[in-house]
Amino acid sequence: MLSILGISTQQLFQQLLVGLINGSFYALLSLGLAVIFGMLNIVNFAHGALYMMGAFCAFFLLNGVDLPTLHFVGGDGTWAPVVSTVHVSLGISYWWALLLAPLLVGAFGALVERLLLKRLAGLDPLYGLLLTFGLALVIQGVFQNYFGASGEPYPIPKELTGARNLGFMFLPNYRAWVIVFSAIVCFSTWFLIEKTRLGAYLRAATENPTLVRAFGINVPRMITLTYAFGISLAALAGVLAAPIYQVRPAMGADIISVVFAVVVIGGMGSILGSIVTGFALGVIEGLTKVFYPEASNTVVFVIMAIVLLIKPAGLFGRTA
């Protein structure tokens, strides 16, 4: 077996694969953050919580939900209300979850934008950060009440079980699918925003909302849809992550600080920049696990510090 610096190539490629997987999630999440920031000028602190909601959504769609119901029971003329739960099994497959979870969580996002974030227009963007942070606490707290800290398993869809032998390593089919599919989603988003008419409206509304409204384009609706779209990217990442990591209430809180570091490194000005930075940092993190495992948790933050020293605006940032 070939070996580099005493590390087997098998192990190297395994960690590279894990890095690419994490990189896909970083890319999807930081892309959503960048899209939302461009349009609403807020940093969506609830992004991690909504990623977790996406994963739980897939879990509920497959396993069903326990709905609380109110009964009136009794005899002898006395009727007492009793709350019990009834299990509604759904059994909706992974493939439908991939479509439905982003739609459901995106709809929730649209509601949040309409009811809460809209009221913050014109205020310091820090208030948006604080509000979405509060929202993240609420969402995470509710899930923790029902599921505790432990994770729920989510099976790999049967079409994607198994692995193929590439000669130098075994590549599990599901992992290959996650990387390819996230890359496709990321680049479609880039194409949508940079190359289509809709994207042109979006970019114009980012630059000058008043003028774009004067052309008869419904900018408030566009803002709501943009927020919902950014959120659904996070939910999609959550569904993709569900079979790899367990579905846990804290999964969003664990990833959000790394994603913020990714955003600082890449700069939020560029769509392509956040995609590239996301994948690249995932890979770097994976490689660190091979060569210097003690630093694998902190390497992204160290890179952030270095980038801040050399290029404070971020690698792809336009202005500070």
Partner 1 sequence: MSQMSPTAEITGHAHSGRDEKIAFVIMAVLLVVAPLPVYPFFLMQALCIALFACAFNLLVGYVGLLSFGHAMFLGSASYVSAHTAKVWGLDPGLAILLGAACSALLGLVTGALAIRRQGIYFAMITLALSQMIYFFCLEAPFTHGEDGIQSVPQGLLLHVFDLSNQTILYYFVLAVFLFGFLVIYRTINSPFGDVLKAIRENEPRAISLGYRVDQYKLAAFVLSAALAGLAGATKAIFAQNASLTDVQFSMSGEVVLMTLLGGMGTIYGPVIGAILIVTMQQYLGQYLGQWVTVIQGSIFVVCVLVLRRGIVGEIAHFFKRSL
> Where do contacts with partner 1 occur on this chain (CB under 8 A)?
42-43, 116, 119-120, 123-127, 129-131, 133-142, 144-145, 253, 257-258, 260-261, 263-264, 294, 297-298, 300-302, 304-305, 308-309, 312, 320
Shortest distance in whole angstroms from residue 261 CB to partner 1 = 4
Structure tokens at 134: 């509060």
Name the residue nearer to partner 1 (CB basis): 80 or 320.
320
Name the 3-class secondary structure at 224: helix
Name the residue nearer to partner 1 (CB basis): 62 or 303.
303
Query: Of all residues in the chain, what percent are helix, strand and coil, respectively (each to 5)?
Result: 70, 10, 25
Name the residue nearer to partner 1 (CB basis): 86 or 142.
142
Shortest distance in whole angstroms from residue 108 CB to partner 1 = 15
Q: Which residues of 70-81 are buried (b: 16+ CB within 10 A; e: fewer)?
A: eeeeeeeeeeee
Shortest distance in whole angstroms from residue 233 CB to partner 1 = 18
Name the residue nearer to partner 1 (CB basis): 98 or 304.
304
Query: Using a CB cutoff of 8 Å and minimum separation of 24, what contacts does 205-214 make?
Result: 205/39, 206/38, 206/39
Shortest distance in whole angstroms from residue 253 CB to partner 1 = 7
Shortest distance in whole angstroms from residue 176 CB to partner 1 = 30
CB 123 within 8 A of CB 32: no
Structure tokens at 64: 């069903």
Q: Of 215, 187, 183, whose CA–CA distance to 200 is shortest?
A: 215
Name the residue nearer to partner 1 (CB basis): 131 or 239.
131
